[in-house]
Chain A
């Protein structure tokens, strides 16, 4: 019998960095408010996170902790529980930053460790990684796997609780088991360096998990800590991969990015760009969007410009090539601010510019009905989910405050209130009755 002895690889569990990482991983309990039911409703969920500084900065997913959170509690590695506050979130990269209540930590004499970032750009497929988190509430579970793909393209217009995600980054794919509750926990190398934030997986598949690479997370963390939010530029281009179309457009390989579509009314549309155009360069720097995986960095380049900047797009249309100047706008989500008008049993979401464009509305006036409570005035009047309330008592609903004000007036003096709402393109009138 021959005993095979491998090379003396040091197991992850014995590395000092890994042990410290374990002490930096936290469970996050979030109670958040939802407005969909025509009333405020609270729900609770569990996620994971990782402490990244001695002053208690925690990185997690945007779909774990969002501005809807009313109560955030963190369970430290030593099982002690402490409160935390949201510093900022960014659904585009599915990241959120929390800060542990340091006063409480000090008062109670609690301690915690913190982890550091590794370089996700240096990862290669096959490399061993570990996911640490709270799958199904099982605190500080470590699972092991490899990097299955280090440059996965995945974009979803409703991926983070209805918000857009994935346009500006690619993802790490791993076969380390990632289950519900792992969200926000770190994906680490054997030495305990955080190279990704576990975020999502295919349900019903075997170990197809995805994480936001640390290269993206580092930048987002820094800016959320500095500004509390991330402002991006928007021009309204939907890019497409050029693969296989180079001949048709008479292009050299690895040249240019295809404009699949231009949002109506967007800066790009105003500048005269249209679907089927090829962008060869932005501000003189060549772009290459041959494969889908190359699109997020290009989108990110545009997004990283200051809002209001004039960008020079060098565009090929047919045989002609010319420059277009596009002035960027601030990027907005399709999902606007939400509120529940409980007296009326009506949940409303502000129509955002992006929503108006997507739905070919005249402008961003109005609120979308996202829920009605049976038996309440909005339901009795006949309003239903998806209706867009454009006017209330003849007043254009330019903000949530307009409709909040109308409800306050109704509360003080309950009188029939006239609403003008639109369903698809059909305009109807409704009366809210006391």
Chain B
């Protein structure tokens, strides 16, 4: 067998879903002019403002329990209400991890070595935020970020405005808070309205403020910056550096505040709207012009997933989505942002809702109506069973696995090797993570339960010298002989 790597893209998974909606951004030059003319906070007062606002940020630590290790993760979070609810950025949790693997959530107040337990509430698909709730005893010491919004509409900073935020040092320094300051350099629609400051202005996931202490946004993950690297051996090699601790980009408060109420009803984050248009690809302006889409954009549908609402609505592979509910797709910079725009339009809906799609097929404009379904079981929700002696975790074969392997989703069979323990009997036999196990000892693994029963029987039987797996990897199969003795 020629070994070839299994691909990694998980079509059914939500790893890529990004936060925040798109309320229409309104510039308010007059109001801003008035505000900046008013006798607001001076630089000298910043320490006082800072001391107040440090109370709306926390560090959250949790452990991901895997088959053989406990992996700690620390993320920064913002307190959003008086119930001690905290939002963490979407990247705070590995999308492959099952929620039952996430354990021992702890909430640390800045500068305090002691922690209190927290409760994980789940992830919201639309904003991407993970929600955690702090325990009651500590809530009195927290201030929700909404306390700094003021009476009027959320503040939109003007170009060159002074902005500042909070960073937290590492755990060994008790998450000591510190201040970061910058000026607004640019506002972009990505498609959320995003402020980009000249330098780092806050830790990702923490709020950004104006000089007078008004909330202006929530720091997003940092953009990469290009540098040239010079060393004894390398002459100016380009490298991309991403600061994971501090960010200069933040979504504006108007993109954040309307969605603070999206606290998941259960830890799975369900219900999740599902359309089933796979591989949306943006187009550049030249293509839009060629297709006579003068001021708008479109998104190419690479594939339509089998049995999905999109298929039922009559969407076809290679259709170009032009409008959603009659609203043409905007031309955004970079072109890629239009894909996020469409994904957010989908993620913000609920199963059962209807979406009108205008698509271009060849030269015809076609109107379709899709009714959102419920997202099929995700990889992180799939059943799993670890077999310690054999040395691997069998995972239920779910819709996303079928999509990834380009097989009919109607008749899924077999199990996936979700984890393979190094140097274990199956690892020595050649089993690798993400291998698709089709047969166990010559018997087809039709259901997850059946496969688990068969493997459990093998695991129990200590007299058994070996067993055989038929696995499929990258379209090729191989027979693996696993020696147990």
Minimum distance in angstroms from B406 CB to a CB of chain A = 5
- Asked if A227 is an interface residue, CB under 8 A from chain B, the answer is no
Instruction: Provide the residues of chain A in CB contact with B282, threshold 8 Å.
Output: 428
Which stretch of A31-39, A90-98, A170-178, A237-245 is in the interface? A237-245
Give 20 new A-B contacts, CB below 8 A, not counting A260-B479, A275-B478, A431-B289. Answer: A245-B479, A248-B481, A261-B1, A261-B476, A276-B442, A276-B470, A276-B479, A318-B442, A360-B406, A381-B286, A382-B284, A420-B318, A422-B302, A425-B278, A425-B302, A426-B281, A427-B279, A427-B300, A427-B301, A431-B286
- Asked if B2 is an interface residue, CB under 8 A from chain A, the answer is yes
Instruction: Provide the residues of chain B in CB contact with A357, threshold 8 Å.
Output: 475
Q: A431-B290, A433-B286 given as contacts; is B300 within 8 A of A261 (CB)? A: no
- Asked if A394 is an interface residue, CB under 8 A from chain B, the answer is yes
Q: A418-B287, A431-B287 given as contacts; is B303 within 8 A of A425 (CB)? A: yes
CB interface residues, B 261-318, toward A, < 8 Å: 278-279, 281-284, 286-287, 289-291, 300-303, 317-318
In the docked arrangement, what's the CA distance between A399 and B7, Å? 29
Instruction: Provide the residues of chain B in CB contact with A381, threshold 8 Å.
Output: 286
Instruction: Provide the residues of chain B in CB contact with A431, threshold 8 Å.
Output: 284, 286-287, 289-290
Contact between chains at B279 and A244 (CB < 8 Å): no
Instruction: Provide the residues of chain B in CB contact with A244, threshold 8 Å.
Output: 481
Instruction: Provide the residues of chain A in CB contact with B9, threshold 8 Å.
Output: 424
Q: A245-B468, A428-B300 given as contacts; is B479 within 8 A of A275 (CB)? A: yes
CB interface residues, A 391-434, toward B, < 8 Å: 394, 416, 418, 420, 422, 424-431, 433
Nearest opposing residue in chain B for A381, CB measure: B286
Contact between chains at B362 and A394 (CB < 8 Å): yes
Of B301, B303, B439, the residue contacting A276 (CB under 8 A) is B439
In the docked arrangement, what's the CA distance between A418 and B360, Å? 15
Nearest opposing residue in chain A for B298, CB measure: A429
Annotate A264-283 by CB proximity to B: 1 below 8 A, 0 otherwise: 10000000001110000000
In the docked arrangement, what's the CA distance between A248 and B472, Å? 19
Minimum distance in angstroms from A306 CB to a CB of chain B = 27
Contact between chains at A426 and B442 (CB < 8 Å): no
In the docked arrangement, what's the CA distance between A50 and B314, Å? 64
In the docked arrangement, what's the CA distance between A43 and B279, Å? 40
- Asked if B176 is an interface residue, CB under 8 A from chain A, the answer is no
- Asked if B199 is an interface residue, CB under 8 A from chain A, the answer is no
Interchain Cβ contacts within 8 Å, total number: 93
- Asked if A55 is an interface residue, CB under 8 A from chain B, the answer is no
Minimum distance in angstroms from B301 CB to a CB of chain A = 8
- Asked if B477 is an interface residue, CB under 8 A from chain A, the answer is yes
Contact between chains at B477 and A260 (CB < 8 Å): yes
Q: A418-B287, A427-B318 given as contacts; is B481 within 8 A of A245 (CB)? A: yes
Instruction: Provide the residues of chain B in CB contact with A260, threshold 8 Å.
Output: 1, 476-479
Instruction: Provide the residues of chain A in CB contact with B468, threshold 8 Å.
Output: 245, 248
Q: A157-B2, A248-B442, A248-B468 given as contacts; is B477 within 8 A of A426 (CB)? A: no
Contact between chains at B481 and A275 (CB < 8 Å): no
Contact between chains at A264 and B475 (CB < 8 Å): yes
Instruction: Provide the residues of chain A in CB contact with B318, threshold 8 Å.
Output: 420, 427
Of A258, A318, A418, A424, the residue contacting B290 (CB under 8 A) is A418
Instruction: Provide the residues of chain A in CB contact with B290, threshold 8 Å.
Output: 416, 418, 431
- Asked if A80 is an interface residue, CB under 8 A from chain B, the answer is no
20 A-B pairs (CB sep. < 8 Å): A238-B476, A245-B468, A245-B479, A248-B468, A260-B478, A264-B475, A275-B438, A275-B470, A275-B476, A276-B438, A425-B302, A426-B302, A427-B279, A427-B300, A427-B301, A427-B302, A429-B281, A429-B283, A429-B300, A430-B287
Of A238, A318, A382, A428, the residue contacting B1 (CB under 8 A) is A238
In the docked arrangement, what's the CA distance between A397 and B289, Å? 23
Q: Which residues of B contact A (CB under 8 A)?
A: 1-2, 7, 9, 278-279, 281-284, 286-287, 289-291, 300-303, 317-318, 320, 362, 406, 438-439, 441-442, 466, 468, 470, 472, 475-479, 481
Q: A276-B439, A418-B290 given as contacts; is B477 within 8 A of A261 (CB)? A: yes
In the docked arrangement, what's the CA distance between A238 and B2, Å? 9
Instruction: Provide the residues of chain B in CB contact with A394, threshold 8 Å.
Output: 362
Minimum distance in angstroms from A129 CB to a CB of chain B = 31
Annotate A352-376 by CB proximity to B: 1 below 8 A, 0 otherwise: 0000011010000000000000000
Instruction: Provide the residues of chain A in CB contact with B302, threshold 8 Å.
Output: 422, 425-427
In the docked arrangement, what's the CA distance between A259 and B310, Å? 38
Of B278, B466, B475, the residue contacting A358 (CB under 8 A) is B475
Nearest opposing residue in chain B for A362, CB measure: B317
In the docked arrangement, what's the CA distance between A298 and B31, Å? 83
Contact between chains at B476 and A416 (CB < 8 Å): no
Q: A360-B406, A433-B286 given as contacts; is B478 within 8 A of A428 (CB)? A: no
In the docked arrangement, what's the CA distance between A394 and B286, Å? 16
Going nearest first, the 8 A-B pairs with the smallest beta carbon separation are: A275-B477, A431-B286, A261-B476, A427-B302, A426-B279, A276-B470, A428-B281, A261-B477
Instruction: Provide the residues of chain B in CB contact with A274, threshold 8 Å.
Output: 477
In the docked arrangement, what's the CA distance between A394 and B361, Å? 11
CB interface residues, A 261-311, toward B, < 8 Å: 261-264, 274-276
In the docked arrangement, what's the CA distance between A426 and B283, Å? 12
Nearest opposing residue in chain A for B362, CB measure: A394
Contact between chains at B472 and A275 (CB < 8 Å): yes
Minimum distance in angstroms from A393 CB to a CB of chain B = 10
Nearest opposing residue in chain B for A319, CB measure: B442
Minimum distance in angstroms from B471 CB to a CB of chain A = 9
Annotate A189-209 by CB proximity to B: 1 below 8 A, 0 otherwise: 000000000000000000000
Of A261, A358, A422, the residue contacting B478 (CB under 8 A) is A261
Nearest opposing residue in chain A for B4, CB measure: A358
In the docked arrangement, what's the CA distance between A263 and B1, Å? 12
Nearest opposing residue in chain B for A262, CB measure: B477
In the docked arrangement, what's the CA distance between A244 and B470, Å? 15
Minimum distance in angstroms from B193 CB to a CB of chain A = 27
Of B320, B362, B466, B475, the residue contacting A360 (CB under 8 A) is B475
Contact between chains at B2 and A427 (CB < 8 Å): no
Nearest opposing residue in chain A for B471, CB measure: A275
Instruction: Provide the residues of chain B in CB contact with A426, threshold 8 Å.
Output: 279, 281, 302
Nearest opposing residue in chain B for A390, CB measure: B318
In the docked arrangement, what's the CA distance between A240 and B479, Å? 8
Q: Chain B CB within 10 Å — which of A360, A416, A429 has the most?
A: A429
Minimum distance in angstroms from A96 CB to a CB of chain B = 25
In the docked arrangement, what's the CA distance between A360 and B474, Å? 9
In the docked arrangement, what's the CA distance between A360 and B466, Å? 33
Nearest opposing residue in chain B for A380, CB measure: B286
Instruction: Provide the residues of chain B in CB contact with A424, threshold 8 Å.
Output: 7, 9
Annotate A203-228 by CB proximity to B: 1 below 8 A, 0 otherwise: 00000000000000000000000000
